[in-house]
């Protein structure tokens, strides 16, 4: 196991808590005179099919070409217009959250234009799935497949960002009472938990890492991540337990020690509560 855990890894570690709800998805065709000026109340993706779209945010102009995907964050005003040949694009409004944190993406600079070279395969899959829904309606799992394709595309954008291959250029949402960078501030906490799973971890220890009181730390953590620190630690331990069992190199007693449980019985009880089977029968 690595000794550090990049903050972007939370999407892998906590994938069970991620929810994506698609609100609407349609294709629009605009002539050369089209323009709009608005801000979305939710996350919004545009899949540019033809033509060129000029997007102004503040004083900055951005250009989206066929094959590109435009990612808007909620609450950010923009102006968009077609060029001489008009434009056609598929748009999708959606919510994306983790636990009780319904806008977990806001802590990252993901909003912008993802060029077709970076997102081609995932965009094609989404487009094909959208065509199936348009042709046959929401039957035979078509809408479920469309949601899966959307999830895969968001996961790809997160992966590109995490690897440094993409960085959003649009501003993040500006909401009253919303402070950016909560997850960055908690990075020492994530790393400490990651490196000390073999020990009993106290909330006071974690709070001291970020210089705040224990009571406020628990509230801050849940607001930032959508989970309590206890839920987070439990999930990480269950992920590690699963990985150790897949390796088939360690006994239940050893794994219990690796994860800071006082004895195999306590570990097995926690494991069964999560996976519905004891660790001895997991693989």
Q: What is the pLDDT of residues 3-39, one digit of tens each?
A: 445 678 899 999 999 999 999 999 999 999 999 999 9
Tokens of 47: 């899949």
Q: What is the pLDDT of residue 178?
A: 42
List alpha helices for 91-186, DSSP H: 116-136, 142-162, 182-185
Query: DSSP code of 200?
Result: P
Whether 149 has a pLDDT exceeding 70, the answer reads yes
CATH 2.60.120.280 location in the chain: 7-163
Predicted confidence at residue 85, as pLDDT, reads: 87
Please report the pLDDT score of residue 182 as a whole number.
Answer: 79
Residue 283: its pLDDT value, please?
80
| Confidence (pLDDT) at 6 | 63
Look at residue 84 in the predicted model and tell me its pLDDT: 86
* Residue 66 to residue 155: CA distance in whole angstroms: 21
Whether 274 shows a pLDDT value over 70: the answer reads yes
Second CATH level (architecture) for the domain 7-163: Sandwich (2.60)
Return d(Cα 146, Cα 154) in angstroms, integer.
Answer: 12
Q: CATH 1.10.10.60 spans which residues of the chain? A: 182-281
Q: Answer with the residue of higher pLDDT: 242 or 179.
A: 242
Torsion angle of alpha carbons 111, 115, 116, 121, nearest 10°?
-50
126 in Cβ contact with 151 (< 8 Å): no
User: CB–CB of 198/186 below 8 Å?
Assistant: no
Query: In whole angstroms, how large is the CA radius of gyration of the chain?
Result: 22
Position 174 confidence tier, pLDDT thresholds 50, 70, 90: low
Which distant-in-sequence residues (6+ apart) come within 8 Å of 77 by Cβ? 37, 38, 39, 57
Give me the CATH code for the 182-281 domain, please: 1.10.10.60
**Residue 175, beta-bridge partner list:** none
């Amino acid at each position: 196991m690595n000794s550090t855990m990049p903050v972007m890894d939370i999407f892998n570690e906590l994938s069970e808590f991620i929810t994506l709800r698609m609100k609407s998805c349609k294709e629009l065709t605009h002539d050369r005179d089209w323009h709009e000026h608005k801000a979305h109340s939710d996350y919004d993706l545009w899949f540019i099919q033809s033509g060129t779209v000029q997007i102004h945010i503040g004083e900055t102009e951005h250009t989206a070409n066929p094959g590109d995907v435009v990612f808007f964050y909620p609450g950010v005003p923009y102006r968009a217009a077609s060029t001489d040949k008009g434009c056609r694009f598929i748009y999708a409004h959606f919510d994306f959250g983790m636990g009780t944190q319904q806008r977990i993406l806001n802590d990252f600079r993901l909003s912008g234009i993802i060029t077709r070279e970076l997102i081609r395969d995932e965009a094609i899959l989404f487009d094909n799935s959208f065509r199936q829904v348009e042709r046959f309606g929401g039957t035979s799992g078509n809408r479920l497949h469309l949601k899966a394709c959307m999830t895969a595309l968001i996961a790809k954008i997160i992966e590109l960002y995490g690897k440094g291959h993409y960085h959003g250029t649009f501003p993040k949402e500006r909401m009253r009472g919303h402070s950016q960078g909560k997850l960055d501030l908690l990075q020492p906490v994530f790393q400490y938990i990651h490196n000390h799973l073999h020990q009993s971890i106290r909330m006071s220890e974690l709070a001291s890492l970020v210089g705040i009181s224990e009571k406020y730390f628990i509230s801050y953590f849940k607001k930032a991540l959508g989970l309590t620190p206890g839920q987070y630690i439990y999930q990480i331990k269950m992920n590690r337990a699963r990985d150790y069992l897949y390796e088939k190199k360690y006994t239940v007693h050893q794994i219990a020690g690796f994860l800071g449980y006082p004895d195999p019985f306590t570990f097995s009880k926690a494991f069964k509560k999560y996976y519905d089977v004891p660790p001895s029968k997991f693989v």
